[in-house]
Amino acid sequence: MPSIVPSQHPIPGEKPEGAVLKRRIVLLGPPASGKGTQAERIQATYGLQATSTGAMLREEARSGSELGRIAARHTDRGELVPDALILELVQEWLETHNGAFVFDGFPRTLGQGEALEQLLEARGTPLEVVFFFDTPLEVIRDRVLNRVTCGNCGHIFRVGLQVSLVSDPCPDCQGPLIRRDDDTEAVLAGRLAEYREKTEPLIAFYRERGLLVQIKAEESPENVFAQVRSALEAAV
Binding mask 22-61 for ligand AMP (x = CB under 6 A): ---------x--------------------xxx--x----
Cα separation, 232 vs 102, in Å, equals 12
Residue 25 identity? I
Pairing of strands 24-28, 101-104: parallel
Q: What angle do CA 123, 202, 136 make, to 5 degrees?
A: 135
- With vertex at residue 134, the alpha carbon angle to CA 99 and CA 41, rounded to the nearest 5 degrees, is 45
Residue 207 is a catalytic residue: no
Asked about 180 being catalytic, the answer comes back as yes
80 sits near ligand AMP (criterion: CB under 6 A): yes
The interface mask with ligand AMP, positions 58-77, x = CB under 6 A, is ----------------xx--
* Total residues in contact with ligand AMP, by rule CB under 6 A: 19
User: Could you confirm whether 191 is annotated as catalytic?
Assistant: yes
Q: How far is the CB of 228 from ligand AMP (least distance, A)?
A: 17
CB burial of residue 232 (10 Å; 0-12, 13-18, 19+): buried
In the complex, the residues that contact ligand AMP under the rule CB under 6 A are 31, 52-54, 57, 74-75, 78-81, 86, 105-108, 112, 182, 191
